Amino acid sequence: MQLCDLTLGTPEENLACDEALLDYCEGGDSDELLRLWAPLEYFVVLGYANKAATEVNLALCRILNIPVRRRCTGGGTVLQGPGVLNYSLILRTDDSGPFHSIAATNKFILERHRDALANLVLAPVEWRGQTDLAIGGLKCAGNAQRRRRRFLLFHGSFLLHLDLELLQKVLPQPSQQPDYRLNRAHSEFLVNLNLPNHTLKTALSRAWNATVPLDPIPLDQITSLAREKYALDEWNLKF
């Protein structure tokens, strides 16, 4: 599998990168790949169908100069920033393979990540809800996917050292919750793994045998998508 350890300079570019990589694989003969990235600044990311006015404290984000952006996959709203490690998998959707359906994809990837993480934290890691990983009933990772004809994008975030107090301030209680959340506040539902960034990067790379550097990287497509989609209020605040 190809490996792309790439954090770009802006929220828009980092979100655009996942979609550009999916398009890159879908439209060519590229192998499957794993991207790893760790944001350097805080920004809020809405799931594709989330309503910004409901899921985000927009007034406080404006005061704190925290951008609000939207990704191309579903799921809930998250705070990105220092202390988060993101991964993105671009995988083939062959009818005979493990990624032939949404449910099968969730099972295959989350079980693999659960096992890789359990070896690091030396504690039971649970698959909870549809796409969460949790330790002792506390969420430490969330995930989402988007499917095309030949390839899918499956990406997610691991909480390593995120400022959960800031998250509590900028994100209200979500409008949709997994059953195991039990309406707990963010501060009572989320947990940081307190792992070094490089340790989890290494574990994920090994779990997927991602060793071949991605070359070339579709930087022109990333720049275009960032400018023409992910930087626009028409996309980010459309709901």
pLDDT in tens, 189-199: 999 999 999 99
**Cβ pair 20, 222 in contact under 8 A:** yes
- Averaged pLDDT, 164-183: 96
**Cβ pair 32, 209 in contact under 8 A:** no
- Averaged pLDDT, 89-105: 92
Per-residue confidence (pLDDT) for residue 197, from 0 to 100: 96
**Cβ pair 52, 238 in contact under 8 A:** no
Per-residue pLDDT tens digits for 127-170: 999 999 999 999 999 999 999 999 999 999 999 999 999 999 99
Position 205 confidence tier, pLDDT thresholds 50, 70, 90 = very high
Per-residue pLDDT tens digits for 100-116: 999 999 999 999 999 99
- pLDDT at residue 175 tops 80: yes
- pLDDT at residue 30 tops 80: no
Query: What angle do helix axes 197-207 and 102-121 make, rounded to 10 degrees?
Result: 130
Least confident of 26-40, 58-72, 148-162: 26-40
What is the count of structural domains for the chain? Answer: 1
The Cβ-side half-sphere exposure at 100, using a 13 Å CA radius, reads 5
Boundaries of domain holding 91: 2-236
Residue % of the chain over a pLDDT of 70: 100
Give the domain CATH number at 121: 3.30.930.10
